[in-house]
Amino acid sequence: MNKISNRPMTEFLTSARDIFPYTQELRRDFHRHPELGFQESRTAQVITRELKKLDHLELKTGIAETGISAFLEGDPSGPVILLRFDMDALPIQEENEEEYASENKGVMHACGHDGHMAIGLSAARLLHDQREHLSGSVKFIFQPAEEGLGGAQRMIQEGILVDPAPDIVLALHLWNEKPLGWFGISDGPMMAASEIFQVRIVGKGGHGANPHEAIDPILAASQIVTNMQSIVSRELSPLEPGVISVGSIHGGSAHNVIPSEVQLEGTIRTFNPQTREYVLERFEEIVSGIAESHGCWSEIKIEKLSPAISNDPEIAGKVRSVVSRLFPDARLDQTYRTMTSEDMALMMEEYKSCYLLVGSANKALGLDAKHHHPRFDFDERALIQGTAVITTAALSLLDR
Ligand SMILES: [Zn+2]
Ligand SMILES: [Zn+2]
């Protein structure tokens, strides 16, 4: 078998450049027709249509509503690499006026998932062309509902990590926090673990002029909001990252009435699994302890969204070497971390895996709005880079 290691990697950069009109057309088509999580039916039809053109792919559709998997068999005695691309858009009204702007009112691809799917389909084509030379097999996963809706978990429950199980897992994200030419591929932790909390503090309502006859949940909630910050600032090592943010607080409806209940919602972010468990435990102790000391009753719901994204250093090192061979001028960041989170962590947890960020901003062209902004857009040359890196990394990781 003609192994990849004997061939110049830049060959696949040329292929990614050649296929760019296809990649760009798909990206713009997805961008024009964004769909929210678990509702990506048109999106799934386009992906299925394109994958069906590649006759050696074994397709499964309708996984977790709209998800798709496509299996490309190479050397059956070799490893299996899973490549995952997310599909969903966001409930945002687009403010860009490009000809490819969203045609769905109030829905927008403002995170770059349109680009990820276009990269995934382009990589599928290129890897399909190379199937005679694949030292293992490739499992392409198109995942619905990444934006906090639990798409990865649903796909896992529906069996995408078995038959066959992957040996290596790769995923990427276009990254507008950084310019085109930058790549973030860290050894170890890279994106935070994330949880949503919902807290109810229940006291006893009464007249604002007679607080002694009431049990004031607003005072208790105020102290809870202040004191929960002491977990990160006083209990974690100053070198250990953690965030607790309250994003909503509701209680009361009149200036002279003590309400009976206050509700809080927010997010908790950490990297280290032990820190994660510690923060969650202390969070519950502080909330219930302060509520109780005020005579209030509390109810705490914590939804664990995803663990931290943590790269396998060996796989990350190999992906970095692919990037530096393809793009000798690339700015490679080996220590980048962000407190944002990704449900891809659930697919990566048990396997040798790597998540990579592909810088996509271009300030000079006005393409540097942040992710989830109504003017989000990126330099489409990042699509070429993403396609070249994911294709070449898959080929070379299979070739061992
Ligand atoms: Zn997003
Ligand atoms: Zn995203």
pLDDT at residue 100 above 70?
yes
Domain match, 175 and 207 both: no
**What is the pLDDT, as a whole number, of residue 1?**
44
**What is the pLDDT, as a whole number, of residue 84?**
98
Q: Diameter of the chain by CA atoms? A: 85
Of 272, 306, 340, the one marking the end of a domain is 306
Identified catalytic residue from 35, 40, 88, 94:
88
pLDDT at residue 243 above 50?
yes
**What is the pLDDT, as a whole number, of residue 6?**
62
- 3-state SS track over 270-328: ECCHHHHHHHHHHHHHHHHHHHHHCCCEEEEEEEEEECCEEECHHHHHHHHHHHHHHCC
The letter for the amino acid at 286 is I
Domain match, 98 and 110 both: yes
At residue 103, φ and ψ (nearest 5 deg) are -100, 0
**What is the pLDDT, as a whole number, of residue 64?**
98
Q: What percent of the chain has pLDDT over 90?
A: 96
Counting ligands in written order, which one lies closest to the CA of residue 370?
Answer: 1
Instruction: Report the distance separating Cα 279 and Cα 167, nearest Å.
Output: 32
**What is the pLDDT, as a whole number, of residue 4?**
61
Q: Is 97 a catalytic residue?
A: no
Ligand 2 centroid to Cα of residue 53, in Å, is 27
Ligand 1 centroid to Cα of residue 252, in Å, is 33
Ligand 2 centroid to Cα of residue 110, in Å, is 8
CATH of the domain at 351: 3.40.630.10
Domain match, 365 and 326 both: yes
**What is the pLDDT, as a whole number, of residue 2?**
46
- Report the residue count for the chain: 400
Ligand 2 centroid to Cα of residue 79, in Å, is 28
Question: What is the pLDDT of the chain when averaged over all its residues?
Answer: 96
Counting ligands in written order, which one lies closest to the CA of residue 86?
Answer: 2
Domain match, 272 and 336 both: no
**What is the pLDDT, as a whole number, of residue 9?**
77
Give the mean pLDDT of 350-364. Answer: 98
Counting ligands in written order, which one lies closest to the CA of residue 371?
Answer: 1
Ligand 2 centroid to Cα of residue 371, in Å, is 8
Domain match, 283 and 314 both: no
Give the mean pLDDT of 370-390. Answer: 98
Are 41 and 131 spatial neighbours (Cβ–Cβ below 8 Å)? Answer: no
Q: Give the number of domains in the chain.
A: 2
Of 278, 306, 334, the one marking the end of a domain is 306
Give the mean pLDDT of 42-56. Answer: 97
**What is the pLDDT, as a whole number, of residue 5?**
59
Counting ligands in written order, which one lies closest to the CA of residue 373?
Answer: 1
Give the mean pLDDT of 192-220. Answer: 97
Instruction: Report the distance separating Cα 21 and Cα 4, nearest Å.
Output: 25
The residue among 375 and 1 whose pLDDT is bigger is 375
Report CA-CA distances (Å) from 139 to 58, 130, 317.
9, 14, 22
Domain containing 242 equals 193-306
pLDDT at residue 267 above 90?
yes
Domain match, 142 and 232 both: no
Q: What is the pLDDT of residues 118-171, one digit of tens each?
A: 999 999 999 999 999 999 999 999 999 999 899 999 999 999 999 999 999 999
CATH of the domain at 200: 3.30.70.360
Ligand 2 centroid to Cα of residue 113, in Å, is 6
Q: What is the pTM of this model?
A: 0.92
Domain match, 34 and 109 both: yes
Which secondary-structure segment (H or E) carries 374? none
Neighbours of 297 (CB within 10 A): 17
Q: Is 146 a catalytic residue?
A: yes
Domain match, 231 and 116 both: no
Identified catalytic residue from 146, 379, 380, 399:
146
Domain match, 345 and 270 both: no
Of 258, 281, 306, the one marking the end of a domain is 306
Ligand 1 centroid to Cα of residue 138, in Å, is 26
Domain match, 314 and 391 both: yes
Domain match, 124 and 12 both: yes
pLDDT at residue 338 above 70?
yes
Q: What is the pLDDT of residues 268-324, one digit of tens each?
A: 999 999 999 999 999 999 999 999 999 999 999 999 999 999 999 999 999 999 999
Domain match, 118 and 210 both: no
